[in-house]
Every structure is written in structure tokens, then in C-alpha cells.
Amino acid sequence: MFESLSNALQRVFSKWGKDRLLTAENIRDGLEEIRKALLEADVHFEVAKSLTEQVTARAVGQEVIAAVKPAEQIVKLFSDVLTEAMHGEPPKLPVLPGQPAVVMMVGLQGSGKTTTTAKLARKLKRQGRRPLLVAADTRRPAAITQLQVLGKSLDIPVHAEEGPGNEERAPQICAAAVARAKKEGHDVVLLDTAGRLHIDAPLMDELARVEKLAAPHVTFLVCDSMAGQDAYASARDFHGKLRLDGVILTKLDGDTRGGAAISVKQVTGKPIVYIGTGERVEDLDDFHADRMASRILGMGDVVSLVEKAQEVVDEEEAAAAAERLLKAQFTLDDFLSQLRAIRKMGPLKGLLKMMPGQLGQAFEQANVQEKELGRVEAAILSMTPQERRNPGLLDANRRRRVARGSGNELSVVNQLIRQHEQMRDMMKRMQGGGMLGKLGKLFGGGGGDVGGLAGMGGAAGFPGFGGGGGGRAQQELLAQMQRGGGATEVKDPDEEARRRAARKREKEARKKNRKRR
């Protein structure tokens, strides 16, 4: 839909002259592209402007680093500024002798408060604490039941006072719940308040009364990550009325760029502590400013993606897959297995969509074929092994034979070969490194905390940027996950040793690179 940032920057900086220094002039267009990208990611427009100014201030006068291109240097600066802007120390939930710590959840309607309250309670329980859930939404139909169902599934008690006449009593109910928790030995109380608009004065006053009566130690603003420009105003007003301590960003399992994160952090000054990554109670993760920065910049949430893949595939396997891919030419066999992998991937497609730029496009293209996969598969299977390895052999006669043999129209076979060529060229271009590959390293290089990242990337740099390499490997990995775990494959021991050596070399090189930067 939008031109990806990498493409745009590539375009803008393609005419870089001999300038040795970054100046306000020679980076202006590039910065404008990044500012646009921030706006398209829903960063509040004033925040976007201010961040761009900060980057300008930092960039001007810097020497152009020979090893990287100016575009990369600026993206790196931007990524740093965004990361710093979103960084913050999470609040501590106190352990108090003989008294419960109180956590209050607030936010707009439908942002995910009730679900997140349950997620948090589950997390705390697993840390050995004894939570009490409190149904403080006395207004929305079945809001109480919703929390009760969740509480039951987690085996965590829920304090609720149902019945007419209780609609207005949320503050009192919360106070009573705190007292009950104290009596029953719960060491943490979680208040699930009703959703409300920041401009609804009576309801905002009600929240202030809850705050007064229940004296929460930590108050979280639960914010929908798909939010647009208005996230700024609503967060500002919640923060104006209450003492917020942190933000929880929900629904990040989708493909939103999530620029609201930075708006909310900037306007409240409060750190984003957790992210919601699904509807299930276990889908709550820690927030990482650096990952969010690359997501907002449209560089994909690739680190998280890799982590996900890693949960089921071991690092060695991952590295091997990447290397196999890099050495191999992109044959029709690869094409076939890729199409199959895509089809198997199912729900994981969403994850891949988070990956930026051309790989996403390649994927979309392949996906068009998904529907016709049966026919395409038949066509490829009608080819000889030589033909599959070297599609150049497929002259008109052979194509007709393949068509007949697979029960396809000749046009299907022609189209298949054309598409394969296109994909192969795209892979080649991406493997050639260039801007994409380097951008990838830029982000990947910093990700030392993610062990397998190095392995995954192989020589191509970063999965998804190294493009053909990482992306394809990832698809394989994801397909493996679908099949339920690592692939079993007979390995040639020599081959194995060679791979390991190659990987080691790679790692060293990367380490050096990092130091140089």
C-alpha cells in the first residue's frame, strides 16, 4: 500500500554526491521520507515533527561514515531517537507486608482492559503472587461475567457486586475489594474498570474517586496499538486526571505499525511496560523499545518474528536452512516447496506480513498463486528433474509436453515459468545486498541479545532484508513449525562441519562490524 521506507530512502539517496558531511540540505529529503513514514505509522504529527527535528540536530555536521550509506546512517539515527524516546523504567509493583498491592487498569472502550487484567493476573500468579480480580465495570452488559469467566479459567477469585443500584458504586466496590483482599491474604488486587471516553467528565471523575478510595500503587493505561492521532489526546487526558504509572499496548499481533506507542509515551512520559499479542491469557509480553522503533519505522517486527520461530526451531537448523538457501540457485523445486510452505503457513502469514519491503511483495505475489497451487504443483511435477533445476531447458515443445502431462493449459505453464523467473530475479537482487541488506545488518547487528539472529541471517545479513535468504529460510522454518517442530533430515557430516565453519566466520565478521560502528 505505502511505499516502504527502505524503497523510498533508496530512491531519495540514490543521487548522493561527494558530500563528506551530513548537512541540513543534503539530508532534508531523506528526513522528509522518514517523517512521512512516521505519520503513516500513526505517530502524532507534532511528535513526528519534533522527532525529525531531533534527528536533524544530531545528524548535521556528522561525517559520512565510509562503510555505510548516508541513508543508513540516518535511519540508524532515527531508530536511536525513537528507541530513546520510548525507553523508560517500568514501575515496580511493591510487596507490602500484610497489605495488597493495588493495580488499576484504565482506558478507552474496547481497548483491551478486561482481557489484559486477566493476562496480568495470570502473570503475577505464575510469579507466586495471590491475585484478586475486581469487576469494577458495573456498566457494560456482561462485563462482570466476562471477568468472572476469565477468573475461573485461571483459577483466580473475582470480587464482584452485581445487581441494580451498583452501577454507580465502582469506587466503593473497589475499596471493599481491597479490604477483602487484606482479610483473605491476597497480596495483589487488580481493578478492571469500565471503558470510558477521556472527555466524559462524570466518568473521569468516577475514576478519580476509585483512585482516591482504592489508592492504586500502579495504574496502567491500556491503549489499543491500532490507535491513530487521537491516542495523544486521550492519553494526555487520562494522565491529566489520574496518576498513570505505565502503559500497556494491546493488539500488537496485528499488522499495525503502532506509532501510537510513541505518542502516548511522549505525552504521558510514562513507560510502555507490556504488549498484548493475542486474545489468549498467555499473550502478554514485555515491551522492547528497540523492536517497537523498527516496527514503527516499517522495518518490520522481525526480531519478534525470529524469536517466535526460535521457540520451536533450534539455531543450528535455522543456520543450516539459511545457508542451504544461499548456496542453492532458486530452482523450480525451491519454487514448489516455497509455495507449499506458504500454503501450510496459514495463520502465520500475518507474521510474515510484518516483514517489510520487497519480501512482503514477493510473498504477496506468491500468495496470488496459492489458489492455483494444485495446478502449479502438477505442472512442476510433470517436469523432469533436470528441467526443474534448469528451467531454461523448457522450450516450446517441452512446455507443451508439461502442459499435456499435467492437464493444464499451456498458458498456465508459461505463466508459471515467468513467475518463477521474476521471483528468482527478485531473490537475486535482494541477495545482492545493497541497501536492503545493509539496512538489515544495521538493525540485526544491534540485536545481540537474540542469539539465533546471527544464525538465521546467514551471509545475507538479516532475515527479511537479506531478503531471499532470510525470508525463504523463515518460510521454511515457519512451515516446519506448522508440521510441529524441527525438520528431521539426514545430514552429511562433512557438509555439517563446513557449515559450522562458515557460520563461525560470519559471526566473527559481524562482531568486527559492530565494533567498527
Partner 1 sequence: MIFARLRESLRNTREKLAGGLSRLFGLKRELDDAFLAELEAVLFAGDLGPAGRATIEQLRAEYRERKLKSSDDVRARLRALLRARLGATVPDLRRAASGPTVVLVVGVNGSGKTTSVAKLAKHCQRSGRTVMVVACDTFRAAAVEQLATWAERLDVPIVRKEAGADPAAVAFDGAEAALLQGIDVLIVDTAGRLHTRDDLMQELGKVRRVLDKKIPGAPHETLLVLDATTGQNAIRQAEVFTQVVPLTGVILAKLDGTAKGGAVVSIRERLGIPVRFAGVGEKPDDFEPFDPERFLDALLEDGGTAEQGDGAP
Side-chain half-sphere CA neighbours of 29 within 13 A: 11
Stretch that binds ligand GTP, among 212-220, 230-238, 249-257, 490-498 (CB under 6 A): 249-257
- Per CB under 6 A, the list member of 6, 73, 83, 115 interacting with ligand GTP is 115
* E strand or H helix at 8: helix 5-13
Question: From CA 350, how far away is CA 326, in angstroms rounded?
Answer: 25
Considering beta carbons, is residue 111 or 358 the nearer one to Mg ion? 111
**Quick check: 110 binds ligand GTP (CB under 6 A)?**
yes
| Phi/psi at 156 (5° precision) | -125, 130
For the bound state, the minimum distance from the C-beta of residue 223 to ligand GTP, rounded and expressed in Å, comes to 10
- Per CB under 6 A, the list member of 113, 198, 441, 510 interacting with ligand GTP is 113
Find where cell 469506587 sits. 171
For the bound state, the minimum distance from the C-beta of residue 287 to ligand GTP, rounded and expressed in Å, comes to 12
Question: From CA 100, how far away is CA 184, in angstroms rounded?
Answer: 10
Size of the site for Mg ion (CB under 5 A): 2
Contact 219, 106 (CB under 8 A): yes
For the bound state, the minimum distance from the C-beta of residue 388 to ligand GTP, rounded and expressed in Å, comes to 41
CB atoms within 10 A of CB 35: 19
Stretch that binds Mg ion, among 58-66, 110-118, 119-127, 424-432 (CB under 5 A): 110-118
**Quick check: 109 binds ligand GTP (CB under 6 A)?**
yes
Largest interatomic CA distance in the chain: 86
Strands 218-224 and 131-136, how do they pair?
A: unpaired
**Strand, helix or coil for residue 327:** helix
Considering beta carbons, is residue 279 or 425 the nearer one to ligand GTP? 279
For the bound state, the minimum distance from the C-beta of residue 197 to ligand GTP, rounded and expressed in Å, comes to 5
**Quick check: 137 binds ligand GTP (CB under 6 A)?**
yes
Cβ-proximal residue to ligand GTP, closest one: 195
Cβ-proximal residue to Mg ion, closest one: 114
Contact 216, 181 (CB under 8 A): no
> Exposure of 431 by Cβ count < 10 A (0-12 exposed, 13-18 middle, 19+ buried)?
buried
Contact 473, 479 (CB under 8 A): no
Contact 65, 27 (CB under 8 A): no
> Exposure of 469 by Cβ count < 10 A (0-12 exposed, 13-18 middle, 19+ buried)?
buried
Which of partner 1, ligand GTP, Mg ion, none binds 277 (CB below 5-8 Å, type-dependent)? ligand GTP
Size of the site for ligand GTP (CB under 6 A): 23
Cell digits of residue 269: 512520559
Considering beta carbons, is residue 246 or 452 the nearer one to partner 1? 246
For the bound state, the minimum distance from the C-beta of residue 216 to Mg ion, rounded and expressed in Å, comes to 17
Considering beta carbons, is residue 392 or 484 the nearer one to partner 1? 484
**Quick check: 253 binds ligand GTP (CB under 6 A)?**
yes
Considering beta carbons, is residue 10 or 114 the nearer one to Mg ion? 114
Stretch that binds Mg ion, among 113-121, 152-160, 178-186, 416-424 (CB under 5 A): 113-121
Cell digits of residue 418: 515467468
Exposure string over 104-114, b if 16+ CB within 10 A, otherwise e = bbbbbeebbbb
- Per CB under 5 A, the list member of 7, 114, 294, 338 interacting with Mg ion is 114
- Window 456-495: residues binding ligand GTP (CB under 6 A): none
Contact 175, 231 (CB under 8 A): no
Cell digits of residue 102: 493495588
Q: Indicate the DSSP class of residue 65.
A: P
Residues that bind partner 1 (CB under 8 A): 1-2, 39-42, 44-47, 49-50, 53-54, 108-112, 114, 139-143, 145-150, 153, 197-199, 224, 226-234, 236-241, 251, 253-257, 259-260, 266-269, 279, 346-347, 349-350, 353
**Quick check: 251 binds ligand GTP (CB under 6 A)?**
yes
Site track for ligand GTP across 274-313, x = CB under 6 A: --xxxx---x------------------------------
Which of partner 1, ligand GTP, Mg ion, none binds 29 (CB below 5-8 Å, type-dependent)? none
Q: Indicate the DSSP class of residue 165.
A: T
Contact 233, 260 (CB under 8 A): no
User: Residue numbers of the site for ligand GTP (CB under 6 A)?
Assistant: 107, 109-116, 137, 140, 143, 194-195, 197, 250-251, 253, 276-279, 283
| Residues of this chain that bind Mg ion (CB under 5 A) | 113-114
